[in-house]
Amino acid sequence: MKSMTRIITLMALLGTHVLTADVLTVRPLFNGRDLTGWKGDGYVVEDGSIVCTPKGKVLMTAETFANYVLDFDFLLAPGANNGLGIHYPGTGDGAYAGMEIQILEDSHPKYKDLKDYQFHGSLYTLAPAKRGALKPPGEWNQQRVTVMGPALKVELNGQIILRANLDDLAARHPDHMGVKRRAGHIAFLGHGDRVSFRKIHIGELPPVANEESVKAAGFTRIFDGKSLAGWKHTPDTMNWHAIHGILKHDGKPGVIKDLWTEKSYRNIMLVCDWRWSGRGPLMKRPLVQPDGSEQGESEVEEFDSGIYLRGNTKSQVNLWNWQVGSGEVYGYRKDAKMPAEVRAGVTPKSRADLPPGAWNRMMITLKGDRLSVSLNGRVVIDNAELPGIPADGPIGLQHHGSAIDFANLWIKELE
């Protein structure tokens, strides 16, 4: 148990979520021409802007996001009402299934009796925003929303109008499901009023790492946060790419499927963050039992990737959305020639995955032919035996059709 305590402690060294002042790499979420990358009805593109029509309700990004800085301009007609949905799961009322930041021309006489949490920039039902920064109807406003774990900040026309801690709000509002979420779609939540949006850009942020503490514990980076240096790749690959500390695969097929380190490793402790950045199809998948056998099926949103150890695709620590949870070693669990105790050993003791889209933190320890895996602070594989695993080899990140992000990839070589 001492070794497991040490693993959890080392995982904690990666730090906690805070707002960052780093210069971001940003990309557009709206191309100014059409609604590519968005899903929903009742919105049109006019003169380089997304415009909510009388039929406009929910328009959301196809991608999901966790930590980010979102910039956009908006233009309100007199009395217009809309909202910015954050961490929206894709269905349900955006104000409650996710969270809604008010977009509202709140000076209109019909809003004279608003509650404090209903004014522009407020987190609806949860936290009121400071007033006075909104421009009159007919003038463009600039808004920035920064989300970093539980920390939320809203800036309007250069003024900070809201700071909130989502963990604190979740404790005070236990029946609000959306405030507990830490990832999801970005959405515009219309009420049929004319509101225009333009210049929509996002800069994604990786989970925070306490770099000095991790280095002091003997770890080194195997991903520098800005390039694929140290990984086998082609310079012009469009599949794997580095953006501001995040190693992304867009989920699209291509020449480069799996990504391998140039260096080989033997005994290691590997720590990384990972999250699903897209959506998957609904599929029936086996129900895995504690002994590694399969009995029955359940319908899940299919995600699939993994981390290969010692250059061997059989010794893959799975990342997926099956009922059994991530961390299992599929190649060994499904090998009928393996002893029963081996197949049971590589089956997760519990499911520790966070909801799809949220960042997961994983620690993998491999020494000799023994493997342990911790996920989000819980030991899911404990000293499992991997008979016949190669003595050394590169580490690989699998692409299996799902859009996935990796960050904070650190490794410590063991004796």
Reduced DSSP (H G I as helix, E B as strand, rest coil) percent helix, strand, coil of the chain, to 5: 10, 45, 45
Q: Is the pLDDT reported for residue 34 higher than 60?
A: yes
Query: Which segments of 265-415 does DSSP mark as H helices, in order?
Result: 330-333, 340-345
Distances in Å between the Cα of 261 and the Cα atoms of 233, 254, 307, 361, 397 are 9, 19, 11, 20, 9
Q: For residue 280, what is the domain's CATH number?
A: 2.60.120.560
Of 398, 407, 387, nearest to 243 by C-alpha is: 407
Of 264, 270, 251, 258, nearest to 233 by C-alpha is: 258
Whether 164 is covered by a domain: the verdict is yes
pLDDT of residue 21: 42
Same domain, 177 and 98: yes
**304-316, pLDDT tens digit by residue?**
999 999 999 999 9
Same domain, 79 and 135: yes
CA atoms within 13 A on the CB side of 47: 3
Same domain, 176 and 229: no
Whether 22 is covered by a domain: the verdict is no
**92-143, pLDDT tens digit by residue?**
999 999 999 999 999 999 999 999 999 999 999 999 999 999 999 999 999 9
Same domain, 360 and 229: yes
What band does 4 get if pLDDT is binned at 50, 70 and 90?
very low
Distance from C-alpha of 181 to C-alpha of 224, rounded to nearest angstrom: 29
Q: Is the pLDDT reported for residue 16 higher than 80?
A: no
Same domain, 185 and 213: no
DSSP classification of residue 356: T
Whether 124 is covered by a domain: the verdict is yes
Of 411, 377, 414, nearest to 397 by C-alpha is: 411
The amino acid occupying position 41 is: D
Whether 238 is covered by a domain: the verdict is yes
Same domain, 158 and 233: no
Same domain, 75 and 221: no
* Secondary structure (3-state) at 310: coil
Same domain, 168 and 251: no
Cβ atoms of 178 and 96 within 8 Å: the answer is yes
* Secondary structure (3-state) at 109: helix
Distance from C-alpha of 208 to C-alpha of 15, rounded to nearest angstrom: 6
pLDDT of residue 1: 35
362: which 2 tokens?
A: 């994983």
Same domain, 185 and 309: no
> Structural domain tally of the chain?
2
pLDDT of residue 54: 97
Same domain, 183 and 219: no
Give all strands of the β-sheet with 99-104 in edge-to-edge order.
38-40, 58-61, 185-189, 81-88, 99-104
Mean pLDDT throughout 47-75? 97
Final residue belonging to a domain, choices 141, 176, 204: 204
Mean pLDDT throughout 9-36? 69
Final residue belonging to a domain, choices 149, 174, 204: 204
Whether 174 is covered by a domain: the verdict is yes
Cβ atoms of 184 and 279 within 8 Å: the answer is no
Distances in Å between the Cα of 145 and the Cα atoms of 42, 81, 103 are 24, 18, 12
pLDDT of residue 20: 42
Whether 226 is covered by a domain: the verdict is yes
Whether 388 is covered by a domain: the verdict is yes
Return phi, psi of residue 171, to 5°: -65, -35
Same domain, 43 and 172: yes
Final residue belonging to a domain, choices 204, 234, 257: 204
What band does 283 get if pLDDT is binned at 50, 70 and 90?
very high
* Secondary structure (3-state) at 96: helix
Distance from C-alpha of 64 to C-alpha of 207, rounded to nearest angstrom: 15
Same domain, 223 and 178: no
Percent of the chain at pLDDT > 90 equals 87
Q: Which domain holds residue 364?
A: 2-17+207-413
